[in-house]
């Protein structure tokens, strides 16, 4: 596909050329976690697919950015922690060990909304990570037990074989778990809410952690 085909395809579905909800930043709550929760509820109600799917951006020791989607597991209001889980031996896990800071970016197209979260990342205790693993569906636990995330796979049938082995392992030991399954919390120091507008009068509200633990709010030029 050459680039003009791409342009034609993009022109068929222009970005946000549709009525979008208003956003009054003066009525926004004092804490970003509260606004995030209400926007997530509205994304759910509007039928956004996978509203908890979020782009996680990291950079390791080489300083080169990397990004991929992960599933948001929770948001902790007290520490303003956005929680996700992955294998500590995966590329993102290694990058987080080298540089424990990250950014999360949500996009909810039904409402033309973006949320950006930046902060420092910590690992949960072993017990919390194990609990997270135990609470997963059988398919998710099988996939987790296989491990080796992002290492080269010679053939898809190799995965099937590994999955059979992991299923057997789970059948024999209900509590089998991968050593690297880890819950991470990104403690936000900055959270930005972006409400798109068809007329390009996008509204951006940024929350920044203040030294007293509260949040300073400011509008940003779109
Ligand atoms: C909707 C969706 C949700 C995903 N959720 C997770 C997740 O919660 N944890 C995870 O490790 N990978 C998840 N993935 C897979 C990652 O995007 C990625 O392929 C994998 O983690 C390897 O990333 P890495 O090589 O940067 O470590 C998800 C992918 C999609 C599309």
From the CA of 86, give the closest atom in ligand 1.
Answer: 11
pLDDT for res 10? 92
H-helix or E-strand spanning residue 220: strand 215-220
Confidence label for 2 from pLDDT (cuts 50, 70 and 90): low
Mean pLDDT throughout 200-213? 96
Q: Is 136 touching ligand 1 by the criterion CB < 6 Å?
A: no
| pLDDT digit string, tens, across residues 75-134 | 999 999 999 999 999 999 999 999 999 999 999 999 999 999 999 999 999 999 999 999
Q: What's the CA dihedral at 84, 87, 89, 92 to 10 degrees?
A: -30
Closest CA to 177 of 154, 211, 143: 143
Helix and strand element counts for the chain (H, E): 6, 9
Contact 52, 89 (CB under 8 A): no
Full residue range of the structural domain in which residue 128 is found: 28-134+179-220
Domain count across the chain: 1
In a domain, 157, yes or no: no
Mean pLDDT throughout 9-27? 92
Q: What's the first-to-final CA gap in the chain, in angstroms? A: 32
Of the residues 55, 86, 159, which should be mutated to test ligand 1's pocket, given the most ligand atoms within 8 Å of the CB? 86
In a domain, 198, yes or no: yes
Other residues' Cβ atoms within 10 Å of the Cβ of residue 35 = 21
pLDDT for res 13? 87
Q: Is 94 touching ligand 1 by the criterion CB < 6 Å?
A: no
Confidence label for 1 from pLDDT (cuts 50, 70 and 90): low
> Is the pLDDT confidence value at 32 over 90?
yes
In a domain, 214, yes or no: yes
Q: How many CA atoms lie within 13 A of 179 on its CB side?
A: 2
Q: Is 147 touching ligand 1 by the criterion CB < 6 Å?
A: no
Q: Is 34 touching ligand 1 by the criterion CB < 6 Å?
A: no
> Is the pLDDT confidence value at 218 over 90?
yes
| pLDDT digit string, tens, across residues 183-206 | 999 999 999 999 999 999 999 999
Q: Calculate how far, in angstroms, residue 62's C-alpha sits from the geometric centre of ligand 1.
A: 21
Q: Cβ-count burial of 11 within 10 angstroms (0-12 exposed, 13-18 middle, 19+ buried)?
A: exposed
Q: Is 69 touching ligand 1 by the criterion CB < 6 Å?
A: yes
Residues listed for the chain: 222
Q: Domain holding 66: CATH number?
A: 2.30.110.10
Longest CA–CA span in the chain (Å) reads 60
In a domain, 140, yes or no: no
In a domain, 7, yes or no: no
Alpha-carbon span 22 to 160, nearest angstrom: 48
In a domain, 151, yes or no: no
**Helix, strand, or coil (residue 186):** strand
Q: Is 71 touching ligand 1 by the criterion CB < 6 Å?
A: yes
Place of tokens 């509205």: 42
In a domain, 19, yes or no: no
Q: Is 74 touching ligand 1 by the criterion CB < 6 Å?
A: no
Contact 53, 40 (CB under 8 A): no
What is the Cα Rg of the chain in Å? Answer: 20
pLDDT for res 3? 73
Other residues' Cβ atoms within 10 Å of the Cβ of residue 126 = 12
Confidence label for 135 from pLDDT (cuts 50, 70 and 90): very high
| pLDDT digit string, tens, across residues 158-175 | 999 999 999 999 999 989
In a domain, 153, yes or no: no
Question: Average pLDDT of the chain?
Answer: 96
Alpha-carbon span 101 to 72, nearest angstrom: 16
């Amino acid at each position: 596909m050459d680039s003009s085909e791409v342009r034609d395809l993009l022109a068929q579905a222009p970005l946000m050329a549709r009525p979008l909800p208003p956003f009054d930043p003066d009525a926004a709550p004092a804490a970003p976690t509260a606004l995030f929760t209400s926007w997530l509820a509205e994304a759910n109600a509007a039928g956004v697919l996978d509203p908890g799917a979020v782009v996680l951006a990291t950079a390791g020791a080489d300083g080169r950015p990397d990004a991929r989607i992960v599933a948001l597991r929770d948001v902790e209001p007290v520490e303003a922690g956005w929680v996700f889980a992955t294998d500590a031996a995966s590329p993102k896990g290694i990058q987080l060990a080298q540089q424990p800071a990250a950014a999360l970016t949500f996009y909810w197209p039904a409402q033309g909304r973006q949320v950006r979260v930046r902060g420092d990342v910590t690992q949960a205790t072993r017990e919390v990570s194990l609990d997270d693993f135990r609470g997963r569906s059988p398919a998710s636990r099988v996939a987790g037990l296989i491990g080796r995330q992002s290492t080269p796979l010679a053939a898809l049938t190799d995965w099937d074989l590994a999955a059979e082995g992991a299923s057997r392992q789970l059948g024999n030991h209900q509590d089998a778990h991968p050593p690297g399954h880890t819950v991470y919390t990104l403690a936000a120091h900055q959270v930005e809410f972006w409400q798109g507008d068809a007329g390009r009068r996008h509204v951006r509200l940024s929350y920044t952690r203040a030294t007293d633990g509260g949040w300073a709010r400011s509008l940003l030029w779109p």
